[in-house]
Amino acid sequence: NMKLLSSTERNKILEKLEKQFGISKLPWLLLQFGRDKIRAFSGSLSKQEILTLDRELRIESAGLYLLSMQESDLRINLDALHLLKEQITKNTLELDKEQAEQWFRGNDIALDKEIERGFLILKFKEDIIGCGKSVGTHIKNYMPKERRIKN
């Protein structure tokens, strides 16, 4: 079930993104699918054309999967992180080579100290490699299975 987000709903998401990651601009139309998936649409269709298409054809998805709403936090999709990387100024964590390799294998990351709970943007050197959730002394891995290193 698709829903175009109202300006109020869009502003609430932007407020959370600003507070959580420092992201203040989303230059796309935001569409919600299901209870928690937000997609960004940048095509040439108007809002009314999208609504008409959805009513007539039942759109399953449109645009880029941007983020999911999880409780009071937002988890940004890996592809969207690369589009937004210039705006990200908060809640980043630099991983070392061994931790990055574990991340790409789909493993959670053990930390040597407890950090604040919530979603973090993970980096290795200058590259953004994902969004994980701190649960105290480790980072929960959200790397999609199809993107993990196998072996």
| 103-121 residue pLDDT tens | 999 999 999 999 989 999 9
- Cα Dmax for the chain: 54
pLDDT of 151 over the 80 cut: no
C-alpha pair distances (Å), 74 with each of 16, 44, 111, 134:
7, 27, 22, 13
Instruction: Give this prediction's pTM.
Output: 0.88
Instruction: Look at residue 96 and tell me whether its pLDDT is greater than 90.
Output: yes
For 29, the token pair is 């139309």
- What pLDDT, on the 0 to 100 scale, is given for residue 60? 78
Instruction: Give the tens place of pLDDT for each residue, 52-79.
Output: 988 888 787 889 999 999 878 999 999 9
Amino acid of residue 52: T
CB-based contacts of 69, cutoff 8 Å, min separation 6: 13, 35, 36, 38
Residue 31 has pLDDT above 90, yes or no: yes
